[in-house]
Each structure stands twice: as structure tokens, then as C-alpha cells.
């Protein structure tokens, strides 16, 4: 008997998955595809890891008296009854980004194979026929490719095809034109995409709105030379309409990895030479499988330790929009900076979220801010679960403020608080560029632009010559290397702020020396570790 949480691995997963779980759990194994083996095995476990063969349905959930987490090492959740899990209070997690590179690469592979007749040429050669002239293909270079769905995989495909010298257009009603422009893509409506594309690749989720989206009417608008690829979800492209379009020359070729009903081994499409097809191999790479296993193992660890799980699909605060996710670690760091600058816990704290991300559910950013605020205040481990309780215990009034407008930044996150003596404290941060780099942009009204590295310091003093040099000299003598420095002031000769990022923590006696030398009115250091 053990006091450690029990994790049941119901299908073959990579050794890295078990390694990522670590030594804190009792690991058990079973054949999840065998119901007679699964049902008794799941009775007393805290978490179960599955792939696609194990059905975690209402019956299995009813048998699992201690179950807290179902982890699907992959993207799809067709084999997990999410509704029944939610009713049973069981968290469901998956690995939404584990296969995106593999799926994008397969889409490009299918496009190239269809363009160059790889499949029929290979079959002919194996049959003893040398048919060079019959299988003359077309280049991707300088052609127009239409991406239907500019999500994570769609963007990766667009980037890869741009490297082939293609003109990339896209249809996605939920993506702003500015975001598309950042990755070099021109947004168009679906009719325009169908009419202009020489190649097209589908990367939409399967929903009631997208099923049958590419139908006979849409295909009729296409060029006769169109090569269509679907490596997203079966059913988005109407297979009957596609067969007719390929058979009659309405379009030229297709590359397919997904089908309306799977497994699919008998389709009229397979009879056509201008179709190259694979059996849903989008995620079938060693790398994707390993990424998926490691991702859900980490989610299980978070869930069983009471942390917020970003990849949870069925708990409040767990479903996090893609545009919000990069802001989570930034906001947690802002919380740590806020506490360091304030020197105490605020009585009132506003978490202000401004800009485009305010259109999403950003409750998670309030949790991230509180986690950061308390990380250096309490001895116990602070989590997304207990951070609100810590605030309530201390009588701190917390408010989430959202505004779709943000003046100087696309998105801006500000922590603004009132201390016990009425003093106002604020820190702000943003994410910049396609890489979403974290930047600290404001401290107590002073405008700065500095990366929130592991070690930061903030000095306020009366602006006068020589102060920056003095700070640099003292830090140099203490063997503390300055990675970045910003000086901000209200007016010439008025109050000024020096914001520093340094390569190592500044010793306490060095801080005292700087405080004395520059006659600082405030001196704060924070270690974001």
C-alpha cells in the first residue's frame, strides 16, 4: 500500500512520459482497449493516461471512485466522455500543441506528393512501368496557396509554404487582419480563396458550422488546376463532392489524411490516380507522440498538486484562449514585481487587462497575478487554486478590470494596488512581436522598457548628474553584471527611476551601498525564480 497518488497508463506511451511524471506517483499499467481489464484497474487510481484506443466513458468513470484526471496523450477527445467527466468532477486534459509541427509537415508532404504525382508514379514503377511523360507535375513556386483556418497549424503551414516562394492567402473569420499580416498572410473571404488558389490546405476544427464547408458549390468556384489538401478533420470537405470534382476535372488533385468516417479503407476516392491518401497520420511521428506524453504527464502533475492546468478542457479557468496563454507567465512575474516594489501586500488590487485579449475569458490572468503577488509572501507553496484563498484570508479586495482599448500597446496588463497607508503602486507589462517577448513597460507611472529577467532592481532618487555611473560602478565592484538598464524621469531634476535587469542577485549590502550613494527614496530588488 502506498500514500502516493496512483497513475494508470492504459496504453503504450513513450518512456519520456513516465520520466516526466517523476517519482512522486505509483505507476500502474493496463490494456485500456480491453474493457474487462480496464474497469477493475481504474477503480482506485487518481489519474489515467490514454491515447485513442481506451474509451473513458460514463461506465468507466462510474467505476473510478478516486479518479481526478483523465489525460489524453494527443489532441482529439473522441474517446473521452467529457460531459460525464465534468459531471463526475473529473478533469480532462489533452495535449493541444503536441502534434502541430507533425500535422503541418504532413500537409506540406501531401501537397508536394499531389503536385508531383508521387503516389501513382511510384505505383507504376513498382508495376514495371517507366512513365515520365505521363506524370509531369507542377511547381509550388510563385503559385497562390489558400489556407482555410489560420490557427496554430495553419500558421505553420503558411510559414513553410512561404519558404517555397508561394503567395499565401487565408480564410479565417476569427483572425484579425493585423495578426495575419504579421505572418505574411492576406486574409480573404472563402469565395475569393477558392477562386484565386492554385493550392489549398484545410486547417479548421470540425464543428457543425464547418462540416461540409468545402462542398460542390465551393469547389465549382475553383481553378481546374487546384490541388486540395485536407489533413485537419474528415467531413469538412464533402467527400462525394470532392470525388465528382476530381473525376470530372473541376479540380486537378487532392491530398487527404482524414475522412468523414474512420477507419476508412474503402472509398471511391482511393480509385483515383489524382488522389494521394494516408490513414490519419498527422500526429504519427515519434516526436509528436513523445511531446504529447510529456505534455499530459506535466498536466497530471499540476492537477494532482492543485495547480491550474492550462490544457484542461472542462474546468472553470482551464479553457484558455490561445491569445491569452502567453500572458500567464508575464502576469505572474508582474505579481512578483508588484510585491517587491510595494514592499507589502496591497489592501486593494486591480488586475487590468487592456487590448485585444480583453475579448477573451482572462480570469486566469487574475489567478496568475495573485500567484505572483503571494509567491514571496507566504511560506507555503502558492498555486492557482489557493492564491484566491490567500487573498481572502488577508481581506484583500481583488478586481479584474477589462477594456478592449489599449493606447500604446496591442495588449497591456497592469497590476494597480492601494497599500494600507493609501499609497498607490502599479506595474505594467506587455508582449511584443511574433515571438511574444515579455516586456516590463511601467513602474509606478515611470515608463520603462525592460525584459523581466530573473533578477531585477528598481531605484528611485532625485534626478541629478552622475547617479547612473555611481550605480554602475558599485555593481561592477560587486561583480554584478548589468544586462539591461532603463532610466525614466518625470521632469528634469525631478524624481527618477532606474530599472535594472542583472545577471545575478544583488547582495543586500550592495543595495544598501547604492541607496546611500544616490540618496535613494526607494530601492527594491526582486528575483523571479
Q: Which of 26, 27, 31 is CA-nearest to residue 51?
A: 31
Using the structure block, give the residue that is written with the C-alpha cell 515520365.
132
Helix (H, G, I), strand (E, B) or coil at 339: helix
Query: Any bridge partners for residue 256, and if so which?
Result: 230, 277
DSSP state letters, 229-261: EE-S-TTSB-HHHHHHHHHHTSS-EEEES--SS
Active-site pick, 72, 117, 203, 233: 233
Among 72, 203, 280, 455, the one annotated catalytic: 280
Closest CA to 348 of 302, 282, 399: 399
Residue 426: beta bridge partners? 416
Q: According to the 3-state scheme, what is the secondary structure of 212-232? A: CCECHHHHHCCCCCCEEEECC
**243 CB-near residues (< 8 Å, 6+ apart):** 268, 269, 272
Q: Look up 262 and say whether it is catalytic.
A: yes
Q: Within a 13 Å sphere around the CA of 112, how many CA atoms are in the beta-carbon half?
A: 11
Q: Where are the alpha helices (DSSP H) in 100-164?
A: 100-115, 118-126, 152-162
> Distance of alpha carbon 81 from its chain centroid, rounded?
23
Q: In the sheet that 437-443 helps form, which strands lie side by side, from edge to edge?
A: 397-403, 348-355, 411-418, 424-432, 437-443, 446-450
- CB count within 10 Å of CB 4 equals 12
**d(Cα 141, Cα 152) in Å, to the nearest integer?**
23
233 is catalytic: yes
Instruction: Give the single-character DSSP code of 80.
Output: B
With beta carbons less than 8 A apart as the criterion, state whether 276 and 110 touch: yes
| Catalytic member of 262, 271, 393, 490 | 262
For residue 432, give Cα distances in angstroms to 286, 420, 441.
33, 34, 11
Find the radius of gyration of the CA atoms of the chain.
Answer: 28
Contacts of residue 15, Cβ cutoff 8 Å, sequence gap at least 6: none
Candidates 138, 161, 85; CA nearest to 313 is 85
Q: How far is it, in rounded angstroms, from Cα 32 to Cα 49?
A: 10
Instruction: In the chain, count H helices and then E strands.
Output: 17, 22
Cell numbers representing residue 174 in the block: 476569427
HEC-encoded secondary structure of 448-512: EEECCCCEEEEEEEECCCCHHHHHHHHHHHCCCCEEEEEEEECCCCCEEEEEEEECCCCCHHHHH
Give the catalytic positions in this structure.
233, 262, 280
Amino acid at each position: 500500500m502506498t500514500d502516493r497518488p496512483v497513475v494508470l497508463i492504459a496504453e503504450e506511451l513513450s518512456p519520456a512520459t513516465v520520466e516526466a511524471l517523476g517519482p512522486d506517483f505509483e505507476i500502474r499499467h493496463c490494456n485500456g482497449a480491453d474493457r474487462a481489464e480496464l474497469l477493475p484497474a481504474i477503480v482506485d487510481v487518481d489519474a489515467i493516461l490514454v491515447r485513442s484506443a481506451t474509451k473513458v466513458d460514463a461506465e468507466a468513470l462510474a467505476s473510478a471512485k478516486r479518479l481526478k484526471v483523465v489525460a489524453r496523450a494527443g489532441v482529439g477527445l473522441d474517446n473521452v466522455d467529457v460531459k460525464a467527466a465534468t459531471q463526475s468532477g473529473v478533469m480532462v486534459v489533452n495535449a493541444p500543441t503536441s502534434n502541430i509541427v507533425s500535422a503541418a509537415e504532413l500537409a506540406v508532404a501531401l501537397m508536394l506528393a499531389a503536385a508531383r504525382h508521387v503516389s501513382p508514379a511510384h505505383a507504376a514503377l513498382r508495376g514495371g512501368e517507366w512513365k515520365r511523360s505521363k506524370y509531369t507535375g507542377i511547381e509550388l513556386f510563385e503559385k497562390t496557396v489558400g489556407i482555410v483556418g489560420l490557427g496554430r497549424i495553419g500558421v505553420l503551414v503558411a510559414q513553410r509554404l512561404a519558404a517555397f516562394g508561394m503567395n499565401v492567402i487565408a480564410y479565417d473569420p476569427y483572425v484579425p487582419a493585423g495578426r495575419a499580416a504579421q505572418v505574411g498572410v492576406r486574409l480573404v473571404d472563402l469565395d475569393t480563396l477558392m477562386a484565386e488558389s492554385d493550392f489549398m490546405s484545410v486547417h479548421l476544427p470540425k464543428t457543425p458550422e464547418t462540416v461540409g464547408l468545402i462542398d460542390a458549390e465551393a469547389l465549382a468556384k475553383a481553378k481546374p488546376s487546384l490541388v486540395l489538401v485536407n489533413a485537419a478533420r474528415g467531413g469538412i470537405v464533402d467527400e462525394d463532392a470532392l470525388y465528382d470534382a476530381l473525376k470530372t476535372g473541376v479540380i486537378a488533385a487532392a491530398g487527404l489524411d482524414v475522412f468523414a468516417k474512420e477507419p476508412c479503407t474503402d472509398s471511391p476516392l482511393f480509385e483515383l490516380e489524382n488522389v494521394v491518401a494516408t490513414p490519419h497520420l498527422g500526429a504519427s511521428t515519434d516526436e509528436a507522440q513523445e511531446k504529447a506524453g510529456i505534455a499530459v504527464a506535466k498536466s497530471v502533475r499540476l492537477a494532482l498538486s492543485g495547480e491550474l492546468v492550462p490544457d484542461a478542457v472542462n474546468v472553470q479557468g482551464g479553457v484558455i484562449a490561445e491569445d491569452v496563454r502567453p500572458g500567464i507567465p508575464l502576469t505572474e512575474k508582474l505579481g512578483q514585481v508588484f510585491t517587491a516594489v510595494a514592499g507589502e501586500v496591497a489592501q486593494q488590487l486591480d488586475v487590468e487587462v487592456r487590448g485585444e485579449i480583453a475579448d477573451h475569458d482572462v480570469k486566469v490572468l487574475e489567478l496568475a497575478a495573485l500567484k505572483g503577488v503571494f509567491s514571496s509572501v507566504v511560506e507555503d507553496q502558492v498555486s492557482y487554486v489557493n492564491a484566491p484563498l490567500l487573498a481572502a484570508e488577508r481581506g484583500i479586495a481583488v478586481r479584474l478590470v477589462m477594456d478592449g482599448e489599449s493606447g500604446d500597446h496591442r495588449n497591456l496588463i497592469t497590476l494597480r494596488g492601494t497599500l494600507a497607508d493609501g499609497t498607490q503602486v502599479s506595474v505594467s507589462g506587455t508582449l511584443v512581436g511574433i515571438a511574444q517577448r515579455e516586456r516590463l513597460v511601467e513602474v509606478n507611472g515611470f515608463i520603462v522598457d525592460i525584459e523581466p529577467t530573473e533578477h531585477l532592481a528598481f531605484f528611485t532618487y532625485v534626478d541629478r548628474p552622475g547617479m547612473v555611473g555611481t550605480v554602475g560602478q558599485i555593481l561592477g565592484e560587486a561583480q554584478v553584471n548589468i544586462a539591461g538598464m532603463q532610466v525614466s524621469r518625470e521632469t528634469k531634476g525631478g524624481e527618477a527611476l532606474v530599472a535594472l535587469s542583472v545577471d545575478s542577485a544583488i547582495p543586500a549590502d550592495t543595495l544598501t551601498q547604492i541607496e546611500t550613494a544616490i540618496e535613494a527614496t526607494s530601492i527594491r530588488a526582486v528575483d523571479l525564480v
